[in-house]
Structure 1
Amino acid sequence: SLQGKILCLVGPPGVGKTSVGKSIARSINREFYRFSVGGLSDVAEIKGHRRTYVGAMPGKLIQCLKKAKTQNPLVLIDEIDKLGRASHQGDPASALLEVLDPNQNDSFTDHYMDIPVDLSKVLFVCTANQLDTVPGPLQDRMEVIRLSGYDLPEKVQIAKQYLIPKAVAANGLSNQKVELTQKATEALIRGYCREAGVRNLEKHVDKIMRKLSFKVAKVKEERLLLEEAAARSEQSATTTEEAVEASNDATEASSAEEVEEEDVRKEPSLHWDATKETGCDKLMVQ
């Protein structure tokens, strides 16, 4: 029966505003739904289309309740500081006023449904990188919570406890012993990831794990090729030996000896002999 609070998490990119929203939803056991309003300029995305239009659909909030199947989910409205300005399609900031105002959202009317819908039990969490571009009336309806950037020890712990295990699992290295030392992590952060958040750090950690995964796959492939080559070599030697034995059996060997004995014979010939009247004599040549 309590009304949900409207929170606004403000901080630089990559500090985990969306992750905080998901953690809040898990901690209070609520369904989580996220949609971004960055660049949104059509009021119908929030309040829905009227049924007279072809392809009409309800707005994001009604779709959220339909998907969550509950009246008290946690709805994360992302990039509220990049909300589109008023145009011929309406003013989305004014449409959000009805959604984020605790005194009005108990009877929110979607154009498609055309009946009041109670959004007072929904916990709204908005995210923004800065408040300068958020309209003043919207700021008045939200409780602003600022998230600062992370220093070196905090980034090291985030990488050790969350980013590295996530990258290891994502790149199929769970069965391998993979370790990124603290000195290597600190060098990575100092040299390549100096931003306030950890989004760039996550990209570099994932890049390292992809290279390790490639090396592991290459080593396995080379080992498999060596095993196949060894198997083929052994099979080839065995086949050659069997072929020699089959082509040189005892019968063929004895036949060759008989043929060799039959070919040996003696033939008569003449040779010079001065003692003979004829000057030559008969000589048998084998």
Structure 2
Amino acid sequence: GLSDVAEIKGHRRTYVGAMPGKLIQALKATESANPVIMIDEIDKLSRGYQGDPASALLEALDPEQNGAFLDHYLDTPVDLSRVLFIATANVTDTIPPALFDRMDLIRLPGYILDEKVHIAANYLVPHARDECGLTERDIVFRTPALEMLAREYCREAGVRNLKQQIDKVLRKVALMIVRDRQKPTAASSKSLTSALSSSSLSSSSSSTSPVAAI
């Protein structure tokens, strides 16, 4: 969680290595006066000896104040009234009430099964396969296998655990190829379950066909 107010308000120029805050840096990077700035996990703000980031964000998010936001490095008012701020949070209980009062709350439901399968097939599996040095000739995840993983191993709103399970399966396949010098043949639901229970996927030394996770 963010705990240094200088990340938002910037450092005073008397300090070595001083620089503007993240908000001013975003304006400079986008070269726009009305960008979209996303603040991820705003519920994890923390207050320490380096100041209170929530108070600094309050100045940036409050429509009555953000027309003259003062960055310590620039030491001149900056108009943030045209910036669209989007903040994400897992819970709202830890967001300071004064800050939360300046926000419009939009509750998003978790992913449904079909959405998880689509994300896994188009993003998680290709990325994990590249990370393990594998190709589609080595292993193929079919839709029923991804549905089984999402339904039985990853009962969550997001896809973080699903990514971990896919990574685990692909690491085992990569190990089998390197250690046994043989390609896995096919992975049924039973063998896929065994792989996630610290067992190996079934393999055959005489076949070079890709894994078909069913």
- When normalised by structure 2's length, the TM-score is 0.73
Q: Distance in 2 between matches of 1:123 and 1:112?
A: 22
Alignment of 1:82-93 (within 5 A): 82-85=44-47, 87-93=48-54
Alignment of 1:175-186 (within 5 A): 176=137, 178-186=139-147
Q: Does 1:159 align with 2:120?
A: yes
Q: Distance in 2 between matches of 1:88 and 1:166?
A: 40
Moved over 6 A (4+): 219-222
Match of 2:85 in 1: 124
> Residue 23 of structure 2 aligns to which amino acid in structure 1?
L
Match of 1:40 in 2: 2
The answer to whether the Cα contact below 8 Å between 2:132 and 2:174 also exists between their aligned partners in 1 is yes
SS in 2 for 1:144: coil
Distance 1:115 1:214, change over 3 A: same
Q: Percent identity at matched positions?
A: 60
Match of 1:63 in 2: 25
Q: How far 1:88 moved relative to its partner?
A: 4.5
Q: How far 1:170 moved relative to its partner?
A: 3.6
Match of 2:198 in 1: none
Q: How far 1:119 moved relative to its partner?
A: 1.9
Q: Output the aligned Cα RMSD.
A: 2.6
Q: Distance in 2 between matches of 1:168 and 1:90?
A: 43
Q: How far 1:126 moved relative to its partner?
A: 0.7
Alignment of 1:67-82 (within 5 A): 67-82=29-44
Q: Which one of the candidate residues 190, 205, 208 is aligned to 2:169? A: 208
Distance 1:220 1:148, change over 3 A: same
Greater share of strand:
1
Larger relative contact order, structure 1 or 2 (CA cutoff 8 Å, min sep 6) = 1
Q: Which one of the candidate residues 58, 61, 69 is aligned to 1:108? A: 69
The answer to whether the Cα contact below 8 Å between 2:176 and 2:182 also exists between their aligned partners in 1 is no
Alignment of 1:252-267 (within 5 A): none
Alignment of 1:239-250 (within 5 A): none
Q: Distance in 1 between matches of 2:169 and 2:49?
A: 48
- Kindly name which structure, 1 or 2, has the bigger radius of gyration based on alpha carbons: 1
Match of 2:159 in 1: 198
Q: Distance in 2 between matches of 1:213 and 1:94?
A: 50
Unaligned runs of 5+ in 1: 1-38, 223-286
Q: How far 1:218 moved relative to its partner?
A: 5.5
Distance 1:152 1:141, change over 3 A: same
Q: How far 1:47 moved relative to its partner?
A: 0.6
SS in 2 for 1:102: coil
Q: Does 1:99 align with 2:66?
A: no
How many positions carry a matched residue from both structures? 183
Q: Distance in 2 between matches of 1:134 and 1:50?
A: 27
Q: How far 1:53 moved relative to its partner?
A: 2.5
Per-residue CA deviation, residues 138-170 of structure 1 (Å, 9 max, x unaligned), is 122222111222333332233223322332344
SS in 1 for 2:88: strand
Unaligned runs of 5+ in 2: 184-214
Q: Distance in 1 between matches of 2:70 and 2:15?
A: 17
Greater share of helix:
1
Match of 2:96 in 1: 135
